[in-house]
C-alpha cells in the first residue's frame, strides 16, 4: 500500500448483522462449582458429619479411628519406643471401640449389643434394635456404616505391610484393631435387619457360588446374621 492511498471507514447501519460475531454463552467451565443449593460437588467430610442428626456423636465416631491410624502411621517420627506406640495405639482403639459400641451405634443407627453372665456361669449375648428407625437419617447410617467398615480395611492394609516388611512386633497393633473392629461389625450386623439381609444376599450370591456348598453357606449366614444355633444369643426389640 502506497503512502498516497487512504483508508476509508464505512459506517454500517445498526441491525445489519455485520461485524464481529458475538461470543457464545453456551461454553461452560468443566471445573465443578457449587451446586444450586450452595453445596460443593467435592466431597466434604465435615459437611457430611454436620448433616447427621447428632454431629458431635458422628465426629467422635470418626475421630478416634482417624487418630489411631494417624498415630500408628507416624509414630516412628515421634518415638522409637515400641511399647509407647503399642500402649497409646491400644488406648485410642479402646476409646473408639467404647464410643462405637455404647454411644454412636445407639445414637446414629439405633442399635446396641452387649453380653451378660448368667447365674449358671453361661454368657448371653443381647442384640437390640430400635423400632423407631425413622428418627435416624440417611446421613446417620452412611457415616456409621462407612466408618465402621472402612477402618478395618485400612488396618488390614497396614497389617499386610508390616508382614511384608517383617515388622512382626508392630503387626500386633493392626491385629488388635481388627479384633475390636470385628467384634463391633459382628454385633451391629446381628442387630440390624437390613445388614442381615445384605450379608445373606452377599454370601448366597457371591461366596456361595465359589464354595458351591449349601451347608457351608448356611453356617456362614447363621454365624454372621445371627441365625441357627447362636449359643444363647437373644434378639430383643427395644426402644433405645
How large a percentage of the chain has pLDDT more than 70? 61
Q: Kindly report, residue by residue over 142-153, the tens digit of the pLDDT.
A: 999 999 999 999
The pTM for the full model equals 0.65
Residue 215 binned pLDDT confidence (cut-offs 50, 70, 90) = low
pLDDT at 238 over 50: no
For residue 153, give the C-alpha cell: 480395611
Average pLDDT over residues 16-30: 47
* Structural domain spans, the chain: 53-192
Q: For position 130, what pLDDT does the model report?
A: 83
The answer to whether 85 and 75 have CB atoms below 8 angstroms apart is: yes
Strand pairing report for 123-129 and 111-117:
antiparallel
Q: For position 204, what pLDDT does the model report?
A: 72
Between 135 and 60, the higher pLDDT residue: 60
Identify the three-state secondary structure at position 218: helix
pLDDT at 100 over 60: yes
Angstrom distance (rounded) from CA 90 to CA 95: 8
Amino acid at each position: 500500500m502506497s503512502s498516497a492511498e487512504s483508508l476509508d471507514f464505512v459506517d454500517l447501519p445498526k441491525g445489519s448483522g455485520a461485524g464481529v460475531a458475538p461470543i457464545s454463552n453456551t461454553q461452560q467451565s468443566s471445573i465443578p462449582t457449587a451446586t444450586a443449593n450452595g453445596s460443593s460437588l467435592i466431597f466434604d467430610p465435615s459437611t457430611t458429619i454436620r448433616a447427621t442428626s447428632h454431629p458431635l456423636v458422628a465426629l467422635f465416631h470418626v475421630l478416634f479411628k482417624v487418630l489411631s491410624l494417624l498415630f500408628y502411621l507416624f509414630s516412628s517420627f515421634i518415638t522409637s519406643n515400641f511399647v509407647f506406640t503399642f500402649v497409646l495405639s491400644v488406648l485410642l482403639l479402646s476409646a473408639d471401640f467404647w464410643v462405637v459400641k455404647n454411644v454412636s451405634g445407639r445414637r446414629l443407627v439405633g442399635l446396641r449389643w452387649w453380653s451378660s453372665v448368667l447365674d449358671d456361669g453361661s454368657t448371653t449375648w443381647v442384640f437390640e434394635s430400635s423400632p423407631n428407625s425413622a428418627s435416624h437419617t440417611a446421613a446417620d447410617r452412611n457415616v456409621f456404616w462407612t466408618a465402621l467398615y472402612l477402618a478395618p480395611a485400612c488396618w488390614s492394609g497396614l497389617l499386610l505391610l508390616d508382614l511384608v516388611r517383617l515388622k512382626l512386633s508392630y503387626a500386633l497393633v493392626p491385629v488388635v484393631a481388627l479384633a475390636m473392629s470385628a467384634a463391633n461389625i459382628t454385633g451391629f450386623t446381628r442387630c440390624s435387619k437390613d445388614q442381615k439381609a445384605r450379608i445373606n444376599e452377599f454370601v448366597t450370591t457371591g461366596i456361595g457360588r465359589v464354595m458351591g456348598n449349601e451347608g457351608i453357606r448356611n453356617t456362614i449366614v447363621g454365624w454372621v446374621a445371627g441365625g441357627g444355633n447362636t449359643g444363647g444369643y437373644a434378639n430383643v426389640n427395644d426402644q433405645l
